[in-house]
């Protein structure tokens, strides 16, 4: 099924999911979460050090700092994600309404996290701004075709929610935890929209969606395209268990691909779709083993410290 026909077939689903989202999403305001009283003016000539952070007596690790930077910069790259998603879905009807609403909510996430980081000086504001300029000037985002886009967006939104939630839990600062929790709650609603949209697409066009699913599971990476020094930040984030192979398998692949989409039992497949299903199930089995070994090595390393 071509992209235009698939969008037409799924328009009633998109309308229903949009209505559900608008009914369940909660209005909130970044200024109610940002601790402005902990902010202070910049002093000319001062260079940031970790001791500048005002985190209510809690220490913050380099791993959590990397997670905060990556999480915020992912949100800051929103203009290009908007371009990609609007290209996939179009500007009209429920599709366009959803893309614009999603963009507005994601922009609010950026404002809230940025406000928290600036008032608390939790991370180096100079490094943050230079990284933001480099990333947004580069304008890199995944740009998948429609079928793969359904899969990617569902997995990416869930990965983002998990990263926000785990970062907040390790942050220590109760105010920062509430900021990340609030943002994560929105991301959860976003992933439900995309997850259920992908499920409907699987029913409508199982062959192409299975091929898309196998390709996206094989190539999926933690959100962070274009962020300077991303590999180093990702390694630190994995070291802390914020987002690693075990998290990816147990909290993304298992609940979504294996349970919700029930990949092993999708019927109506033939040719490349059937081949993709076989490859996907083998990859999921391998991912489980790799995730287990990764977790064992990390636990052993932590125990030896």
Domain membership of residue 45 (yes or no) is no
Average pLDDT over residues 146-150: 96
CA–CA dist 221, 298 (Å, integer) = 20
Domain membership of residue 240 (yes or no) is yes
Please tell me the total count of domains within the chain: 1
Domain membership of residue 98 (yes or no) is yes
Cut 0.85: pTM above it? yes
- Taking each helix axis from N to C end, the angle separating 206-219 and 146-171, rounded to the nearest 10 degrees, works out to 40
Average pLDDT over residues 19-26: 96
Is the CA virtual torsion 8, 185, 73, 249 positive or negative? Answer: negative
Average pLDDT over the chain, rounded to an integer: 92
Query: Within 10 A of 265 (CB to CB), how many other CB atoms are there?
Result: 7
Is the CA virtual torsion 71, 74, 78, 84 positive or negative? Answer: negative
Domain membership of residue 47 (yes or no) is no
Residue 146 has pLDDT above 90, yes or no: yes
Domain membership of residue 122 (yes or no) is yes
**What integer pLDDT is reported at residue 143 of this predicted model?**
86
Residue 300 has pLDDT above 80, yes or no: no
Q: Residue 268 is part of a domain; what is its CATH number?
A: 1.10.620.20
Domain membership of residue 44 (yes or no) is no
Among 189, 167, 191, 166, which residue's Cα sits nearest to residue 26?
189
- pLDDT for 90-127, tens place per residue? 999 999 999 999 999 999 999 999 999 999 999 999 99
Domain membership of residue 295 (yes or no) is yes
- pLDDT for 33-89, tens place per residue? 999 999 999 999 999 998 888 776 677 899 999 999 999 999 898 888 899 999 999
Domain membership of residue 154 (yes or no) is yes
CA–CA dist 263, 194 (Å, integer) = 16
Range of the domain at 297: 3-39+52-303
């Amino acid at each position: 099924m071509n992209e235009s026909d698939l969008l037409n077939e799924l328009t009633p689903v998109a309308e229903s999911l949009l209505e559900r989202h608008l009914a369940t999403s909660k209005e909130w305001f970044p200024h109610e979460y940002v601790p402005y009283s902990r902010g202070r003016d910049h002093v000319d000539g001062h260079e940031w050090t970790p001791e500048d952070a005002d985190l209510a007596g809690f220490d913050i690790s380099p791993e959590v700092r990397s997670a905060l930077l990556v999480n915020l910069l992912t949100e800051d790259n929103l203009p290009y994600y908007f371009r990609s998603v609007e290209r996939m879905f179009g500007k009209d009807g429920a599709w366009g309404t959803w893309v614009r609403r999603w963009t507005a909510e994601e922009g609010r996430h950026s404002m809230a996290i940025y406000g928290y980081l600036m008032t608390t000086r939790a991370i180096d504001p100079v490094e943050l701004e230079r990284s933001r300029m480099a990333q947004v000037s580069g304008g890199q985002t995944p740009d998948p075709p429609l079928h793969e886009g359904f899969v990617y967006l569902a997995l990416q939104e869930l990965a983002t929610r998990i990263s926000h939630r785990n970062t907040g839990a390790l942050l220590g600062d109760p105010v920062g935890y509430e900021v990340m929790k609030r943002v994560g709650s929105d991301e959860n609603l976003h992933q439900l929209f995309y997850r259920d949209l992908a499920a409907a697409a699987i029913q409508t066009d199982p062959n192409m969606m299975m091929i898309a699913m196998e390709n996206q599971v094989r190539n999926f990476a933690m959100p962070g395209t274009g962020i300077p020094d991303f590999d180093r930040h990702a390694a630190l984030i994995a070291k802390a268990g914020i987002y690693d192979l075990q998290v990816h398998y147990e909290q993304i692949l298992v609940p979504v691909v294996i349970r919700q989409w029930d990949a092993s039992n999708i019927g109506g497949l033939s040719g490349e779709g059937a081949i993709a299903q076989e490859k996907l199930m083998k990859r999921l089995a391998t991912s489980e083993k790799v995730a287990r070994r990764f977790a064992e090595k990390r636990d052993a390393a932590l125990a030896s410290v």
